[in-house]
């Protein structure tokens, strides 16, 4: 793990500290940018150090404060150590955004055990490790916002994504349990479930699939990463203290 600080000289003690996993691109990058614009001190985790450096430079240029760490969230030991390091250095940890994820798509008759296990390891187990580790400093501070990025696939299912849908559905059950365990300590846990969002991940989908899905979306468009970041901005805010254990589908009405 390599930590690269990008921050102003002002004291950070009054800023909420927010960790965003999978922050180097797509939805994670948009969330990191939005939280920094909201006045949070953002710590971005991802594997690609170059993309993280670009994110840090962009946040700093926009007047925000952040640091980034090259970290494989699939390595539970490394992830826990990285989160503990953030909390120790800054004396607090207020917000955790579990965004990192992968896909290994395939019909169930052809899906290997390894492809199933790998998706659950990165998409679900890493979020469990992150939540468990982050809960301790959040409890000390009597404040916490845990936001996990689910998917409409975890609500509706999706052909060819039994592993991905299982992981995202698991995030829902886990978040509801955390909400009940930690609600009395000022810590909330919620899931944002994006629909079809224009990202690198969806750009590789066949055109025929996109054309078939679009008429099923009441707002008649795919979502943007900023649509998701806006939802996270509220759920992770001080104003959202009475919102917990919920699944918020930001999908243009697809799953209703």
Can you list the alpha helix ranges (DSSP code H) found in 91-206?
113-120, 126-141, 153-156, 162-182, 200-203
pLDDT given for residue 148 in this prediction: 98
Q: What is the pLDDT of residues 106-163, one digit of tens each?
A: 999 999 999 999 999 999 999 999 999 999 999 999 999 999 999 999 999 999 999 9
- Tell me the pLDDT band of 205, cut-offs 50, 70 and 90: confident
pLDDT given for residue 2 in this prediction: 47
Instruction: Please tell me which residue in 45, 116, 164, 222 is annotated as part of the active site.
Output: 164
Note whether 100 and 28 are within 8 A (CB). yes
Q: Is residue 191 part of a domain?
A: yes
Nearest to 192 by CA among 157, 161, 235, 163: 235
Q: What is the pLDDT of residues 67-116, one digit of tens each?
A: 999 999 999 999 999 999 999 999 999 999 999 999 999 999 999 999 99
DSSP character for 16?
A: P
Q: Is residue 127 part of a domain?
A: yes
Residue 39 belongs to a domain with what CATH number? 3.40.50.720
Question: Averaged over 1-27, what is the pLDDT?
Answer: 73
CB-count exposure of residue 49 (10 Å: 0-12, 13-18, 19+): middle
pTM of model > 0.85: yes
Q: What is the pLDDT of residues 45-70, one digit of tens each?
A: 999 999 999 999 999 999 999 999 99
Q: Tell me what percent of the residues of the chain surpass a pLDDT of 70.
A: 95
pLDDT given for residue 92 in this prediction: 96
Question: Averaged over 198-208, what is the pLDDT?
Answer: 78
Nearest to 20 by CA among 153, 149, 151: 149
- Domain interval for residue 73: 2-250
Mean pLDDT lowest among 3-7, 81-85, 180-184: 3-7
> How many Cβ atoms from other residues are within 10 Å of residue 89's Cβ?
14
pLDDT given for residue 230 in this prediction: 98
Count of domains in the chain? 1
Q: Does 242 qualify as catalytic in the annotation?
A: no
Q: Is residue 255 part of a domain?
A: no
- The interaxial angle of helices 126-141 and 162-182, nearest 10 deg, is 20
Q: Is residue 186 part of a domain?
A: yes
pLDDT mean across residues, the chain = 93
- Tell me the pLDDT band of 3, cut-offs 50, 70 and 90: low
Residue 214 CB-half CA count within 13 A: 11
1, pLDDT greater than 50: no
Note whether 69 and 3 are within 8 A (CB). yes
12, pLDDT greater than 60: no
């Amino acid at each position: 793990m390599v930590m690269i600080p990008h921050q102003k000289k002002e004291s950070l003690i009054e800023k909420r500290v927010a960790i965003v996993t999978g922050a180097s691109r797509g939805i994670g990058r948009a969330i990191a940018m939005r939280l920094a614009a909201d006045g949070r001190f953002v710590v971005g985790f991802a594997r690609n150090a170059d993309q993280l450096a670009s994110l840090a430079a962009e946040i700093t240029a926009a007047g925000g404060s952040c640091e980034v760490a090259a970290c494989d969230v699939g390595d539970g030991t490394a992830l826990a150590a990285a989160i503990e390091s953030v909390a120790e250095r800054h004396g607090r940890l207020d917000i955790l955004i579990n965004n990192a994820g992968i896909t290994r798509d395939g019909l169930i008759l052809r899906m290997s055990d390894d492809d199933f296990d790998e998706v659950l390891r990165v998409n679900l187990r890493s979020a469990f490790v992150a939540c468990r580790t982050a809960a301790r400093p959040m409890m000390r501070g009597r404040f916490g916002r845990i936001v996990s990025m689910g998917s409409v696939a975890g609500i509706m299912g999706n052909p060819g994504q039994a592993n991905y849908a299982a992981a995202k559905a698991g995030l829902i059950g886990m978040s509801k349990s955390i909400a009940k365990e930690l609600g009395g300590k000022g810590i909330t846990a919620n899931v944002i479930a994006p629909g079809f969002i224009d990202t690198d991940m969806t750009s590789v989908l066949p055109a025929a699939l996109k054309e078939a899905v679009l008429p099923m979306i009441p707002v008649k468009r795919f979502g943007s990463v900023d649509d998701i970041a806006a939802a996270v901005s509220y759920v992770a805010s001080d104003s959202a203290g009475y919102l917990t254990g919920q699944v918020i589908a930001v999908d243009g009405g697809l799953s209703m």
